[in-house]
């Protein structure tokens, strides 16, 4: 019994949770979402550029994309965040003022774009060669065929992987606290952590964790639904058909043609 | 069969095509150092159909891809309407030459109509409405007027291939290339596609058809070309090729497939 009481007091102290809840909602959640969503948007844009460069038939176009990807996928997130966040502070100060927040977003974007670039690349490369060939045979340029036909198909296929990446970014965004955020800039983890230190109780952190789950879990399920929908689309219900009718289709058309 | 004697019943409102002549002169195509098509010369008169037959790996498909430069010829010359096209921009050449593939290669996330309208709209620069109109006309022409809003996966293989033919026709090509267009189809669906191809042939399209359908080659072709090991072994009228083969290779091939 004592064990359970201890457990309840340490992790699920309702009063401690209630106290930190408004702060978690108004500051932590908002900042976590701002950091993650901006890093994802920038990551998608840069990632798409990386993917298209990465599949170029020209080697010197592929190489920079490859190197970029290798670096930011290979480094620990915390290391990239610290190097960018502290290393470019002098530059950021002129541009954005004293807050390390923008640099945090940039660091997260560098990391996410490397991963997203690989996700896009695998999607684009999974599109059958015949699609590009059909486009070229119709007189489309390589770039146009990519933009109109190949890339959209590739992106659809990797939608679930993209959401997984967003989830990774949500979690990685907690590392930005290393840069020393001002009170109003603190994200879920830091808000929970502060409260936990102040009250000597882990419950605020547990609540922060619940918030993370509230963001991430529904997303995973949503994406499966979306994926299903994108893959199959709205289908036109057709009754049973007979291949034997196909020759008549041509003739019916003729009959209509002559009648009109 | 009725594919041929249909000529007289062609409806008055049907499109008549003006195919251009096509000439290959000493065309060689290679993958790296390996020459898969060697020194092929071929003349296809305007509005006629040439069928290319031969065993797998004989270079038929590669030859076809050399014509619209999906595979750039290593040497030799390709002339459309009497003029060499090897100095043209490949994209411009391909607008004049339609191609139909074994596996259709339709765009799966577009409807039949969008599949056909895409190139006239985005490549030829027609207005969206114009392109749509062209697409509707072409789809009706291939007997799919009722199926314009279907996506490829809701169509049978035969219907998909006819959409692919309509897609190529929508660019008003001067020459049509068919790369084993019926090889991926269920047996009962083959006829509809061959029928359509025979139709195009009668209406003046210049066509080069790589095919395993000997019946089609015999009935529809003006010229049959037999390729083996990257070379043209024999070429002639269907009667020459099928009834009076000259080489052992052709005789062996015919005894295998007929």
Does B151 have pLDDT greater than 80?
Answer: yes
pTM for the whole thing? 0.84
Ranges of chain A whose pLDDT falls below 70: 230-241, 247, 252-260
Test mutation, A137, A144, A256, A259, chain B, max B CBs within 10 A:
A137
Query: What's the average model confidence in pLDDT over B122-136?
Result: 94
> How many other CB atoms are found less than 10 A from the CB of residue A24?
23
pLDDT at position A239 is 64
Mapped onto helix, strand or coil, the DSSP state of residue B227 is strand
- pLDDT one-digit tens code per residue, B90-118: 999 999 999 999 999 999 999 999 999 99
What are the helix (H) ranges across chain A? 2-11, 14-23, 30-54, 59-74, 77-87, 89-96, 101-125, 129-137, 142-145, 151-157, 159-172, 188-199, 203-232, 246-259
Identify each DSSP E strand in chain B by its residue range: 22-31, 34-44, 49-53, 75-80, 83-84, 97-100, 175-179, 206-210, 223-228, 231-236
- Cβ contact, residue pair A246, B191, below 8 Å: yes
Query: With 0-12 CB in 10 A as exposed, 13-18 as middle and 19+ as buried, what is A208?
Result: buried
- Cβ contact, residue pair A137, B145, below 8 Å: no
pLDDT at position A257 is 43
What tokens appear for A255 in the block?
Answer: 């009959």
Residues A54 and A121: beta-carbon distance below 8 Å = yes
Q: Residue B105 is nearest to which of A131, A249, A253, comparing CB atoms?
A: A131
- Cβ contact, residue pair B101, A260, below 8 Å: no
Crossing angle for the helix pair A129-137 and B157-169, nearest 10 degrees?
A: 30
> Is A231 near chain B, with CB under 8 Å?
no
pLDDT at position A242 is 72
Query: Hey, which residues does A98 pair with through a beta bridge?
Result: none
Find, in chain B, the residue whose alpha carbon is nearest to that of A131.
B105
- Cβ contact, residue pair B192, A152, below 8 Å: no
Find, in chain A, the residue whose alpha carbon is nearest to that of B199.
A250
What ipTM did this prediction achieve? 0.89
- Cβ contact, residue pair A138, B92, below 8 Å: no
Q: How many residues does chain B have?
A: 258
- Cβ contact, residue pair B13, A260, below 8 Å: yes
Supply φ then ψ for residue B147, to 5 degrees.
Answer: -120, 20
Using an 8 Å CB-CB cutoff, list chain B residues near A247: 191-192, 195
Instruction: State the DSSP string of B39-105.
Output: EEEEEE-TT-EEEEE--TTSSHHHHHHHHTTSS--SEEEEEETTEE-TTS-HHHHHHHEEEE-TT--
- pLDDT one-digit tens code per residue, B65-95: 999 999 999 999 999 999 999 999 999 999 9
What tokens appear for B101 in the block?
Answer: 């593939």
C-alpha closest to that of B48 among B158, B175, B157: B175
pLDDT at position A25 is 92
Using an 8 Å CB-CB cutoff, list chain B residues near A137: 68, 70, 94, 97-99, 101, 168
Q: Which residues contact A250 (CB under 8 A, 6 or more apart)?
A: B142, B143, B192, B195, B196, B199
Strand ranges of the sheet holding B22-31, from the earlier edge strand across to the other edge? B34-44, B22-31, B75-80, B83-84
Rounded distance between C-alpha atoms, residue A229 and residue B190, angstroms: 32
pLDDT at position B115 is 97
- pLDDT one-digit tens code per residue, B11-57: 445 678 999 999 999 999 999 999 999 999 999 999 999 999 999 98
Query: Hey, which residues does B30 pair with through a beta bridge?
Result: B35
Using an 8 Å CB-CB cutoff, list chain B residues near A154: none
pLDDT at position A120 is 97
> Is A152 near chain B, with CB under 8 Å?
yes
Rounded distance between C-alpha atoms, residue A132 and residue A233, angstroms: 22
> Is A260 near chain B, with CB under 8 Å?
yes
- Cβ contact, residue pair A253, B140, below 8 Å: yes
Rounded distance between C-alpha atoms, residue B106 and residue B115, angstroms: 7
pLDDT at position B135 is 96
pLDDT tier at B10, thresholds 50, 70, 90: very low
pLDDT at position B7 is 35
B99 vs B7 pLDDT, higher one: B99
- Cβ contact, residue pair A235, B142, below 8 Å: no
- pLDDT one-digit tens code per residue, B242-255: 999 999 999 999 99
């Amino acid at each position: 019994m004592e064990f359970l009481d201890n457990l309840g007091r340490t992790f699920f102290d309702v009063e401690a949770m209630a106290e930190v809840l408004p702060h978690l909602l108004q500051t932590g959640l908002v900042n976590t979402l701002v950091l993650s969503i901006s890093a994802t948007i920038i990551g998608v844009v840069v990632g798409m550029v990386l993917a298209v460069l990465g599949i170029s038939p020209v080697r010197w176009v592929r190489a920079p994309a490859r190197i970029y990807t290798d670096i930011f996928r290979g480094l620990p997130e915390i290391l990239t965040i610290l190097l960018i966040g502290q290393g470019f502070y002098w530059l950021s100060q002129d541009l954005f003022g004293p807050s390390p927040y923008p640099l945090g977003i940039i660091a997260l974007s560098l990391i996410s774009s490397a991963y997203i670039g690989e996700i896009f690349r695998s999607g684009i490369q999974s599109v059958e060669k015949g699609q590009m060939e059909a486009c070229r045979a119709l007189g489309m340029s390589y770039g146009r065929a990519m933009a109109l036909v190949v890339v959209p198909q590739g992106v659809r296929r990797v939608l679930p992987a993209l959401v997984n990446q967003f989830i990774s970014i949500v979690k990685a965004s907690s590392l930005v606290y290393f840069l020393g955020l001002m009170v109003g800039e603190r994200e879920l983890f830091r808000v929970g952590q502060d409260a936990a230190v102040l009250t000597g109780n882990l419950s605020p952190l547990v609540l922060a964790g619940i918030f993370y789950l509230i963001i991430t879990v529904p997303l995973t399920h949503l994406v499966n639904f979306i994926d299903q929908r994108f893959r199959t689309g709205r289908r036109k219900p057709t009754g049973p058909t007979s291949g034997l009718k196909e020759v008549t289709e041509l003739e019916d058309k003729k009959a209509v043609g002559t009648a009109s | 069969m009725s594919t041929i004697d249909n000529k007289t019943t062609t409806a008055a409102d049907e499109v008549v095509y003006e195919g251009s002549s096509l000439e290959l002169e000493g065309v060689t195509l290679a993958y790296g150092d390996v020459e898969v098509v060697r020194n092929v010369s071929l003349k296809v008169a305007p509005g006629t159909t040439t069928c290319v037959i031969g065993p797998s790996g004989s270079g038929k498909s590669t030859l076809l891809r050399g014509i619209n430069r999906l595979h750039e010829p290593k040497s030799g010359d390709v002339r459309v309407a009497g003029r060499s096209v090897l100095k043209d921009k490949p994209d411009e050449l391909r607008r004049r030459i339609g191609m139909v593939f074994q596996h259709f290669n339709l765009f799966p996330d577009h409807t039949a109509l969008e599949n056909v309208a895409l190139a006239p709209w985005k490549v030829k620069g027609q207005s969206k409405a114009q392109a749509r109109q062209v697409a509707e006309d072409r789809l009706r022409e291939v007997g799919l007027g009722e199926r314009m809003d279907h996506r490829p996966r809701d169509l049978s293989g035969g219907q998909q291939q006819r959409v692919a033919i309509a897609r190529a026709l929508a660019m008003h090509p001067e020459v049509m290339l068919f790369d084993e267009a019926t090889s991926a189809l269920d047996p009962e669906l083959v006829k509809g596609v061959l029928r359509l191809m025979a139709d195009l042939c009668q209406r003046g399209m210049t066509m080069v058809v790589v095919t395993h359908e000997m019946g089609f080659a015999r009935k529809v072709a003006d010229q049959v070309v037999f390729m083996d090991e990257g070379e043209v072994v024999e070429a002639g009228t269907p009667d020459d090729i099928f009834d009076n083969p000259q080489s052992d290779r052709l005789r062996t091939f015919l005894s295998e497939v007929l």
